[in-house]
Amino acid sequence: MRGGPRFPGAGSGVGGRPGQAYDLAMTTPLDDAALTAFLEGQEAAWLAEQLMLAADEDPITRIRLTAAAGSESAVDEARATVLAIVVNHLPQESAADPDDGDELHRALDLLDDLADYGFEDEAADIAYEAREVYLGRHGEDDGEHLARLHTLADGEEDEE
């Protein structure tokens, strides 16, 4: 099975129907170490295909991969995505459930990643724009999102 996952029954489905195995809910998830070990044993072409499938489903993943590849287009895509997320953000909903991995936290993590991939100035510029939009839409608050925007825009180190 060149390029595919190396585990019993992969792709064969259940009961002879192709793909049926992928329709079932995972009831025994792999822990991070087991999943990492599995992925390390796979061929690069299969891993690239899986990453592209994930990127097709998630714009933030696509932007991260594009930035990691060094493409300047990641900056424009990140700007549009982050600003749209800030505009659509509802602070009262994220305050009600702070453990919910909300989209704005993911967008701010994306800015951290952009900086890590060599786009420090661009990430700070996007954070500055996002902070201005946030303040215009939601006002000054004591929320974690705005605090992170201040940190990212002003280039301050986290004190945590």
| Residue 132 covered by a domain | yes
Give the whole-angstrom CA distance, residue 72 versus residue 136: 28
| Residue 24 covered by a domain | no
Element holding 146 (H helix, E strand)? helix 144-154
| Residue 23 covered by a domain | no
Q: What is the pLDDT of residue 92?
A: 74
| Residue 121 covered by a domain | yes
By the 8 A CB rule, do 54 and 61 touch?
Answer: yes
| Residue 104 covered by a domain | yes
Instruction: Give the total number of structural domains in the chain.
Output: 1
| Residue 160 covered by a domain | no
Q: What is the pLDDT of residues 60-106, one digit of tens each?
A: 999 999 999 999 999 999 999 999 999 999 887 765 565 555 899 99
Query: What is Dmax (Cα atoms) for the chain?
Result: 58
Q: What is the pLDDT of residue 82?
A: 97
Contacts of residue 104, defined as CB under 8 A and 6 or more positions apart, other chains included, come to: 85, 86, 89, 94, 145
State the residue range of the domain holding 111.
44-154
Q: Which two tokens stand for residue 117?
A: 């991939």
| Residue 82 covered by a domain | yes
**Rounded to the nearest 5°, which phi and psi values hold at 61?**
-65, -45
CA distances (Å), origin 81, targets 40, 67, 141 = 31, 14, 22
| Residue 26 covered by a domain | no
pTM over 0.85: no
Low-confidence ranges of the chain (pLDDT < 70): 1-28, 94-101, 156-160
Q: What is the pLDDT of residue 155?
A: 82
